[in-house]
């Protein structure tokens, strides 16, 4: 049994991950600031599923509050930390840039400092497929350079990777960064396409389909993501003896540091995704076809060879099953008496 800090515990991935850790017998401190980026009631309802479980404690804190975060680390003495808290959203970062610096940069350094000074065994943190930016080389590989982000959100996630490597190098802090690929499923975020499409189709409103429906995404079901993270938490990164500064590998290091993609390894075009959703809803969508938005990536496709080789992880959930489970949850959650 370990004591694990999960930041962003009232968020989509953090909620599911906390439940998985608790189910295997770990103690979890779930941290969240419950901001209003999207419906706070949804976050509170997620927490209501966790709070009765033995071993869970909720801490309402903001990562950017240095004094409170460092105090939490000193008092709790965590074995492991999974940092999922961040200001999310590619498009939101274009109109609200400062919130990304406060949460994703200032907040992240506070987590690193807490880990450094309190003998945390392993810090796992959320990066994003958005760091691949302008790259068109498919599938996206962690061994390729990612120095051309096209949104501030992506830039902050790449910054997190660099900051974590610095602490791993200077202080020997084992750090693993995970580039998530379009996570979806029950209790998902209301700003994500599946949620927006479902709500609009059920209400008879048109859906906005960007890049004229020619987007391709490596949609990854939440259970697959959570299973991968749980396997990784106990898989501490080690220095790569073959690493060379002359021909360096961005995914590994001379320090205890690794970067992995965690995606479905099976990109699906948006038109197919919508067709599956229409089938599950039993209703056709009215499509408002629009050009690609600033900051968006036309396609994502995860190379997960490293993850499969090192921890035996390979997602297995089809979009038919995953979308079906989301629709089932959506109907139950929003049709309550």
Task: Check if the beta carbon of residue 263 is closer than 8 Å to that of residue 225.
Answer: no
Summarize pLDDT for 227-283 with one digit per residue, the tens.
999 999 999 999 999 999 888 899 999 999 999 999 998 999 999 999 999 999 999
Choose among 8, 21, 10: nearest CA to 234. Answer: 21
Summarize pLDDT for 121-132 with one digit per residue, the tens.
999 999 999 999
Cβ-based neighbours of 324, under 8 Å, separated by 6 or more: 280
Question: 68: burial class by Cβ within 10 Å (0-12, 13-18, 19+)?
Answer: middle
Residue 337 is predicted with a pLDDT of: 41
Q: Which of 80, 153, 167, 221 is catalytic?
A: 153
Tokens of 117: 């000074």
- Number of Cα atoms under 13 Å in the Cβ half of residue 250: 16
Neighbours of 228 (CB within 10 A): 22
Q: 153 catalytic, yes or no?
A: yes
160: DSSP letter: H
CA 145 to chain centroid, in Å, comes to: 20
- Bridge partners of 83, per DSSP, are 7, 125
Phi, psi of 31 (to 5 degrees): -110, 140
Residue 336 is predicted with a pLDDT of: 64
Per-residue pLDDT of the chain (337 residues; tens, 9 = 90+): 899 999 999 999 999 999 999 999 999 999 999 998 889 999 999 999 999 999 999 999 999 999 999 999 999 999 999 999 987 777 777 878 888 898 899 999 999 999 999 999 999 999 999 999 988 898 999 999 999 998 898 999 999 999 999 999 999 999 999 999 999 999 999 999 999 999 999 999 999 998 888 889 999 999 999 999 999 999 999 999 999 988 889 999 999 999 999 999 899 999 999 999 999 999 999 999 998 887 777 888 899 999 999 999 899 899 999 999 999 999 999 976 4
In 3-state terms, what secondary structure has residue 243? coil
- Number of Cα atoms under 13 Å in the Cβ half of residue 140: 31
Residues in the chain: 337
Kindly report the average pLDDT of the chain as a whole number: 94
């Amino acid at each position: 049994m370990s004591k694990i800090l999960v930041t962003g515990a009232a968020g989509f991935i953090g909620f599911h991950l906390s439940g998985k850790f608790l189910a295997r017998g770990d103690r979890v401190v779930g941290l969240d600031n419950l901001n209003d980026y999207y419906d706070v009631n949804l976050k509170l309802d997620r927490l209501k599923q966790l709070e009765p479980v033995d071993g869970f404690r909720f801490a309402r804190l903001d990562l950017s509050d240095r004094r409170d975060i460092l105090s939490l680390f000193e008092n709790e003495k965590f074995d492991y930390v999974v940092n999922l808290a961040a200001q999310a959203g590619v498009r939101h970062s274009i109109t609200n840039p400062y919130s990304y610096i406060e949460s994703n940069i200032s907040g992240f350094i506070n987590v690193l400092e807490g880990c450094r000074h309190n003998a945390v065994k392993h810090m796992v943190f959320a990066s994003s497929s958005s760091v691949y930016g302008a790259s068109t080389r498919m599938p996206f590989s962690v061994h390729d350079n990612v120095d051309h982000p096209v949104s501030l959100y992506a830039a902050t996630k790449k910054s997190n990777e660099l900051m974590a490597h610095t602490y791993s190098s200077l202080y020997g802090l084992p750090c693993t960064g995970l580039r998530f690929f379009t996570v979806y499923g029950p209790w998902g975020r209301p700003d994500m396409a599946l949620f927006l499409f479902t709500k609009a189709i059920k209400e008879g409103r048109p859906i906005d389909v960007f890049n004229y429906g020619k987007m391709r995404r490596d949609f990854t079901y939440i259970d697959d993501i959570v299973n991968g993270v749980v396997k990784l938490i106990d898989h501490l990164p080690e220095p790569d003896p073959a690493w060379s500064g002359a021909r360096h590998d961005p995914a590994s290091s001379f320090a205890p540091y690794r970067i992995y993609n965690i995606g479905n390894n099976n990109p699906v075009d948006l038109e197919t995704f919508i067709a599956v959703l229409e089938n599950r809803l039993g209703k056709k969508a009215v499509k408002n076809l629009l050009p690609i938005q600033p900051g968006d990536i036309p396609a994502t496709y995860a190379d997960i060879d490293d993850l499969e080789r090192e921890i035996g992880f390979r997602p297995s959930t089809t979009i038919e099953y995953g979308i079906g489970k989301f629709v089932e949850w959506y109907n139950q959650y929003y049709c309550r008496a």
